[in-house]
Amino acid sequence: MSPRGRRPRRGLVLAALAVLTALALPLHAWIPAGPATGHLGSLVETFLPWTGLLVALLLAAALLRRSRLALIAALLPALVWGLLHGTTLLGDRSTGGPADLTVATHNVDDANPDPAGAARVLVASGAQLIALEELTQPATGRYERALAASHPYHVVKGTVGLWSTFPLRDAEAVPIMPWTRALRATADTPKGPVTVYVAHLASVRLRATGFATERRDAAARALDSALRAGPTGPTLLLGDFNSTTDDRALAPVTARFRSAQTEAGAGPGFSWPAAFPVARIDQILLRDLTPLSTRTLPRTASDHLPVAATLRF
């Protein structure tokens, strides 16, 4: 038998995995995200908070292995995860106070059987500005009728629309894809004009070849170009981005804005899929405005949850 000093230390492999995990958590941007790797980095960043499950598995494995070395090493990624995601998932970052503006966005689902029900949920939120994505005919007419009394001003371009209690002007389609999935309009609020973008980036698919994000990434780059050419001053960017704000593919856009959920959310704020939300892909981004709180709204017949935020000028 080999001398005791030459035996492999119990839990050495688990300890090495724990250290690698601790390094990968803050350095996820180093994970390759190109086509050759199936956009692996983008996939990891979409579900980044769920890396906590991997940390929990490492801790459980260390306990089962009865290895002090593995347990101590597993505490390292647990600490890193807590610092990076603990406040986001468990904390309440809302500040409260009087709000100047409430906004909401909702991918209503092109197969939604109850547009009127979705409209009731959005109106009940108190939002003065309501962005809708995945509009179709004749459903658009049903939303127009359901929101006419509370939000008399609206504009629809392609499959996206904006409803408002304030007058809207200068509305135009924003070309981010071959068909219209984005718009820009100016809302004349009592506190001054606000530029509002509504966008629905292309969907992504998980395939045998990897995470198919090419169309979404191209749409994000086109949106970034439109934003650079757009007006300055208070600006809102609302919509379904099929991406979280952690995803580097959205960095050109998110670098120009603050995230209401990141700064003033209560809990994770996951919005998709509605039956069991695992990611925040429906976004309320802002510039020259201050978020006070953000929340998901009650479930509608869509596969997304609506999200809303209160803001201050």
- Contact 270/278 with Cβ under 8 angstroms? yes
pTM of the model: 0.90
25, 125: one domain: no
User: What tens digit of pLDDT does each residue of 29-55 get?
Assistant: 888 778 878 888 888 888 888 888 999
Q: What kind and span of H or E run contains 196?
A: strand 192-200
- Please, which pLDDT band fits residue 2 given cuts at 50, 70 and 90? very low
122 found inside a domain: yes
Q: What is the mean pLDDT of the chain?
A: 92
225 found inside a domain: yes
78, 152: one domain: no
Domain boundary among the residues 90, 125, 155 is at 90
95 found inside a domain: no
25 found inside a domain: yes
User: What tens digit of pLDDT does each residue of 93-131 get?
Assistant: 898 789 999 999 999 999 999 999 999 999 999 999 999
Average pLDDT on 262-278 reads 93
Four-CA torsion 162, 270, 288, 108, nearest 10 degrees: 0
For residue 162, the model assigns a pLDDT of 98
3 found inside a domain: no
> What is the rounded distance in angstroms from the CA atom of residue 34 to the CA atom of residue 302?
32
4 found inside a domain: no
- Please, which pLDDT band fits residue 4 given cuts at 50, 70 and 90? low
pLDDT at 233 over 90: yes
* Host domain of residue 45: 9-90
1 found inside a domain: no
48 found inside a domain: yes
pLDDT at 204 over 80: yes
- Please, which pLDDT band fits residue 226 given cuts at 50, 70 and 90? very high
Q: What kind and span of H or E run contains 236?
A: strand 235-240
The total of structural domains in the chain comes to 2
> What is the rounded distance in angstroms from the CA atom of residue 193 to the CA atom of residue 141?
27
Average pLDDT on 243-264 reads 92
Q: 32 is written with which tokens? A: 């390759």
> What is the rounded distance in angstroms from the CA atom of residue 32 to the CA atom of residue 38?
9
CATH code at position 203: 3.60.10.10
